[in-house]
Chain A
């Protein structure tokens, strides 16, 4: 049975969280059951307010081999990093 069940990735927004975070994966026959299963597997202790599930097959990931072309160039350009500015108190969650 489990062979026929696709893999789903689960994202949960926690009680005080602002964004959905990836918490893990599970197997389920369809989206509805994936939500049910995510509820039982990942929110047993009141962790979440909202669940997203997405078929693992629908996620496109960057390749580890592309690390240099994707991320290196930014490192040499300090002007891209706004680290010189003190962050005002009123701005939260940045």
Chain B
């Protein structure tokens, strides 16, 4: 088995899966009908991507695990999502900050992955990037309108960006898995994504009249490790809810 590629695919699948699960919790609770529909659309886009990545991960592993087993029957320490996506929804500003910072990273990552030397990876990325191109645009538009809105929305949006910012550092730190997979032309070195990410994020935050947090805030060593399986306490709660049915009634279907 190509262990590094398996890990790499889990990281892609888990980040999209967990963010989709988080966004789904907004269903019926969005601030207005239009936002409610838009967020659930995004959640479904991400779930579709998670299914493709996890299916592929299962194939690469070659142990007979399918997308469902990978999604519903792994424990916290086996999840490889980045810490940013497991953070709570909070208010709408917090959800949009998390979304915008992730989407921007996701977009530049996929831009690299569409040129992957592994044609299966390239194919999934090609499908995903169409959806993610829209996610980035929409999340950015919302950040601008909330940042440049009322005094209250500006304050909340700035707080949300500051809070989410602390979890962005790990998005740009390569470990041996990233370096190996990138070295073989299958994946993308994350360190190279920082500059375009920061450029786009800065542009949008400036338009939103928001401050760009200091670089050091993103690289606090303790707030890293999601992609290696070291998670914040939040993920356990997400999984408890998401996996309950399959755990309580193994093999249940309807």
Contact = CB atoms under 8 A, between A and B. Distances in A.
Interface of A: 1-2, 5, 26-30, 32-33, 36-37, 39-41, 44
Interface stretch (B31-39, B179-187, B197-205, B232-240): B31-39
Contact of B145 (A2, A33, A41): A33
B34 A37 contact: yes
Given A2-B32, A36-B138, A29 B145 contact: yes
A41 B34 contact: yes
Interface string B89-105: 00000000000000000
Contacts of A29: 145
Given A2-B32, A28-B34, A36 B41 contact: no
Contacts of B138: 36
Given A36-B38, A37-B38, A1 B32 contact: yes
Contacts of B37: 37, 40-41, 44
Contacts of B31: 1-2
B141 interface: yes
Interface residues of B, number: 14
Nearest to A8: B34
A5 B38 CA distance: 16
25 contacts: A1-B31, A1-B32, A5-B32, A26-B33, A26-B34, A27-B32, A28-B34, A29-B145, A30-B145, A33-B142, A33-B145, A36-B137, A36-B138, A36-B141, A37-B34, A37-B35, A37-B38, A39-B134, A40-B34, A40-B38, A40-B41, A41-B33, A41-B34, A41-B38, A44-B37
Nearest to A37: B34
B133 to A, nearest CB: 12
Q: Interface majority SS on B: helix, strand, loop or mixed?
A: helix
B131 to A, nearest CB: 12
B213 to A, nearest CB: 25
A36 to B, nearest CB: 5
Given A1-B31, A36-B141, A41-B33, 9 more contacts: A27-B33, A29-B145, A33-B145, A36-B38, A37-B35, A40-B34, A40-B41, A44-B37, A44-B41
Of B34, B134, B145, chain A has the most CB atoms within 10 Å of the CB of B34
Contacts of A27: 32-34
Contacts of B34: 26-28, 37, 40-41
Contacts of B145: 29-30, 33
B99 to A, nearest CB: 13
B20 to A, nearest CB: 16
B46 to A, nearest CB: 14
Of A27, A29, A40, chain B has the most CB atoms within 10 Å of the CB of A40
Contacts of A26: 33-34
A28 B32 CA distance: 9
Interface string B139-178: 0011001000000000000000000000000000000000
Rank and list the top 6 A-B pairs by shortest CB-CB distance, nearest first.
A40-B38, A37-B34, A40-B37, A2-B32, A40-B41, A41-B37
Nearest to B92: A1
